[in-house]
Amino acid sequence: MNKMQEQWNVTVRGLLEGDQAICLQFWNSYGERLRRIAGRRLPEKLRRRIEPEDIVQSACRSFFRRVQSRKLELTDHDMLWPLLCAITINKVRQQIRFHCRQRRDPRREEANQGDAENTPAPDEFSSSQD
């Protein structure tokens, strides 16, 4: 077994056992790159509500949970990055769907702000009633 495969086996074993040092090493290796992917895919209007970091943390939680419950079989290092990207992109899509449902849609906030600008303030309204 070559050195790279041995290191991979140590990493997988650490992830399976929830080893904090391995999890931190994992985060340091992949966290920032995944955050950039999430940030590029998250529409600007939604960044006011949710940050790319939140999405990546959710993606990593899902990944760790699946690894520790042995629902994922990590046979080699080459499959890890595409898997992490897929989980992260799916989390972005879930957040977009959640926040763009009709009652939460940020486009409605902009439309309502325009209405608010034309609506008199409460003190203006009461003085116009007199």
Structure confidence at residue 47 as a pLDDT band (50, 70, 90):
confident
Q: Where are the domains of the chain?
A: 3-129
Tell me the whole-structure pTM to 2 decimals.
0.73
pLDDT in tens, 58-99: 999 999 999 989 898 888 888 999 999 999 999 999 999 888
What does the alpha-carbon distance between residue 2 and residue 6 come to, in Å, rounded to a whole number? 6
Q: Counting Cβ atoms within 10 Å, is residue 1 exposed (0-12), middle (13-18) or buried (19+)?
A: exposed
For the cut 90, the answer to whether the pLDDT of residue 34 exceeds it is yes
| Percent of the chain residues past pLDDT 90, beyond the cut | 46
Inter-axis angle of helices 52-68 and 20-41, to 10 degrees? 140
Q: How many C-beta neighbours within 10 Å does residue 69 have? A: 9
Q: CA angle at residue 42 from 36 to 45, to 5 degrees?
A: 130
Mean pLDDT of the chain: 83
DSSP H/E element including 18: none
- CB contact at 8 A, 67 and 18: no
Structure confidence at residue 4 as a pLDDT band (50, 70, 90):
confident
- Write down the pLDDT at residue 125: 42
